[in-house]
């Protein structure tokens, strides 16, 4: 009897190991490995031409796949959740986000964490959902998270994921490109992690130059910030090349650092500074470049617990870095109390000199 039980348990253990090994082999072989530089499709590209001397607005917003509303937590930050609470809530969050962005009337938008086919957002194509609210904008989308199955948390796994970055513009783009950012976690964790990238859109300016738009989402939860250092070095080299060409440059999005000129201590909290949040490196900023941030409005909250004003740690990690030939007219963060996302949007008004 005991021998039979041992054989049974041994068989079960072997089957589990065989399945786990086969799954790891599958995700390794099918791992999404894009080229460093890839062209991406532009949809509904408008005819409007950018001109110097005319003010325009740019908004950045990490929408948290329309699943990280104020009532949600997230396992990577110490919570337990990995998906939106329901399909209906995802749709409500998308409607709230779309309605807000439509009313904001921003000329250009940088959106991060937009799903197009993910278990965590119930298979909703969020790009298509946002198009309904922003019909005058051209769209450029690029993947940065593409996995057949993310098996964690074990009891409620994230599941199938496909999502990424979305840039929207009322101005004509000559081309849109996906740039892969460097830095990887060790195997097998990297197989289940994001493939970080940024979207570049090149906007012809009537004067003959170009306005180069960069929509980015840097890494978080990389221990010691080593991957983020590699990504910033890559970005610095890219900036130097574009600056030498005399172009206008706006880099914006979710930097996953506490941005220069801001201080999280300004926001009331009952929590300690989270391990994943690092101050922005002081030696990064290229000569003459300026930060466009709103130091008075937090743009992100911790998601180890649902949101409660005065409880969650909050900071400014979303904003813009702009070249010296661009004047910053105004920057405004919008404290939406994380009603539909763990981030808040930031809008800036610029003019090309």
Q: Print the domain residue range for 300.
A: 35-352
Q: Are residues 13 and 55 in the same domain?
A: no
Question: How much is the average pLDDT of 223-244?
Answer: 93
pLDDT bin (cut points 50, 70, 90) of residue 11 is low
pLDDT for 27-48, tens place per residue? 555 667 899 999 999 999 999 9
pLDDT confidence of residue 305? 98
CA 147 remoteness from chain centre: 17
Q: State yes or no: pLDDT of 112 exceeds 90.
A: yes
Whole-number Å distance between alpha carbons of 193 and 207: 42
Whole-number Å distance between alpha carbons of 215 and 330: 19
CB 299 within 8 A of CB 273: no
Q: Are residues 21 and 112 in the same domain?
A: no
pLDDT confidence of residue 16? 59
Residue 319: name the closest of 235, 278, 261 by CA: 261
Whole-number Å distance between alpha carbons of 253 and 111: 7
Q: State yes or no: pLDDT of 232 exceeds 70.
A: yes
* Residue 244, φ and ψ in degrees, nearest 5: -65, -25
Q: Are residues 9 and 81 in the same domain?
A: no
Token code pair at residue 294 = 């709103």
Q: Are residues 331 and 199 in the same domain?
A: yes
pTM above 0.85, yes or no: yes
Q: Are residues 19 and 6 in the same domain?
A: yes
Q: Are residues 220 and 133 in the same domain?
A: yes
Q: Which residues, including other chains, have CB under 8 Å from residue 110's CB and lie 6 or more apart?
A: 58, 59, 60, 61, 165, 167, 213, 215, 252, 253
pLDDT for 267-304, tens place per residue? 999 999 999 999 999 888 889 999 999 999 999 999 99
pLDDT for 117-168, tens place per residue? 999 999 999 999 999 999 999 999 999 999 998 999 988 999 999 999 999 9
Sign for the CA dihedral angle at 145, 277, 70, 139 comes to negative
Q: State yes or no: pLDDT of 14 exceeds 60.
A: no
pLDDT confidence of residue 29? 59
SS3 272: coil
Q: Are residues 2 and 137 in the same domain?
A: no
Q: Are residues 264 and 179 in the same domain?
A: yes
Q: Are residues 19 and 151 in the same domain?
A: no
Whole-number Å distance between alpha carbons of 124 and 108: 23
The DSSP H or E segment spanning 114 is strand 108-115
- 76 CB-contact burial (10 Å; exposed 0-12 / middle 13-18 / buried 19+): middle
Question: How much is the average pLDDT of 224-240?
Answer: 94
Question: How much is the average pLDDT of 52-60?
Answer: 98
Report how many domains make up the chain: 2
Q: Are residues 6 and 115 in the same domain?
A: no
> What residues pair up with 219 in beta bridges, in sequence order?
none
Helix%, strand%, coil% for the chain, nearest 5? 25, 30, 45
pLDDT for 58-100, tens place per residue? 999 999 999 999 999 999 999 999 999 999 999 999 999 999 9
Q: State yes or no: pLDDT of 228 exceeds 60.
A: yes
DSSP string, 80-107: S--S-S-HHHHHHHHHHHHHHHHHHT-S
- 48 CB-contact burial (10 Å; exposed 0-12 / middle 13-18 / buried 19+): middle
Q: Are residues 17 and 145 in the same domain?
A: no
pLDDT bin (cut points 50, 70, 90) of residue 225 is confident
Strand positions, DSSP E, 218-334: 248-254, 290-292, 300-301, 314-315, 318-322, 326-333
Whole-number Å distance between alpha carbons of 258 and 132: 33
Question: How much is the average pLDDT of 47-59?
Answer: 97
The DSSP H or E segment spanning 324 is none
pLDDT for 297-311, tens place per residue? 999 999 999 999 999
CATH number for position 217: 3.60.10.10
Q: Are residues 74 and 193 in the same domain?
A: yes
The mean predicted confidence, pLDDT, of the chain is: 92
Whole-number Å distance between alpha carbons of 77 and 269: 16
Token code pair at residue 210 = 């170009």
């Amino acid at each position: 009897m005991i021998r039979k039980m041992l054989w049974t348990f041994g068989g079960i253990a072997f089957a589990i190991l065989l399945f786990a090994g086969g799954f790891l082999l599958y995700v390794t072989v099918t791992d999404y490995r894009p080229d460093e530089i890839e062209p991406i499709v532009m949809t509904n590209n408008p005819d409007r031409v950018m001109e110097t001397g005319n003010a325009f607005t740019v908004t950045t917003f990490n929408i948290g796949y329309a699943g990280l509303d104020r009532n949600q937590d997230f396992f990577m930050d110490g919570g337990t959740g990995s998906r939106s609470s329901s399909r209906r809530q995802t749709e409500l969050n998308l409607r709230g986000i779309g309605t807000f962005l439509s009313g904001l009337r921003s000329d250009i938008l940088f959106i991060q964490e937009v799903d197009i086919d993910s278990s965590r957002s119930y298979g909703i194509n969020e790009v298509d959902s946002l198009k309904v609210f922003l019909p005058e904008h051209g769209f450029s989308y690029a993947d940065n998270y593409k996995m057949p199955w993310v098996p964690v948390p074990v009891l409620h796994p994230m599941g199938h994921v496909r999502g990424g970055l979305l840039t929207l513009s009322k101005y004509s783009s000559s081309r849109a490109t996906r740039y892969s950012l460097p830095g990887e976690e060790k195997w097998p964790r990297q197989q289940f992690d994001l493939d970080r990238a940024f979207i570049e859109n090149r906007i012809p300016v009537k004067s003959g130059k170009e306005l180069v738009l960069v929509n980015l989402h840097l890494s978080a939860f990389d221990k010691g910030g080593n991957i983020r250092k590699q990504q910033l070095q890559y970005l610095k080299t890219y900036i130097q090349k574009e600056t030498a060409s005399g172009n206008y440059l706006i880099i914006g999005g979710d930097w996953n650092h506490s941005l220069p000129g801001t201080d999280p201590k300004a926001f009331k909290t009952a929590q300690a500074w989270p391990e994943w949040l690092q101050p922005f490196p002081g030696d990064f900023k290229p000569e003459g470049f300026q930060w466009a941030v709103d130091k008075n409005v937090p743009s992100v909250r911790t998601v180890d617990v649902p949101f409660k004003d005065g409880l969650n740690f909050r900071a400014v990690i979303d904003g813009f870095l702009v070249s010296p030939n661009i004047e910053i007219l105004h920057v405004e963060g919008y404290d939406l109390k994380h009603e539909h996302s763990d981030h808040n949007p930031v809008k800036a008004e610029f003019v090309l000199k």
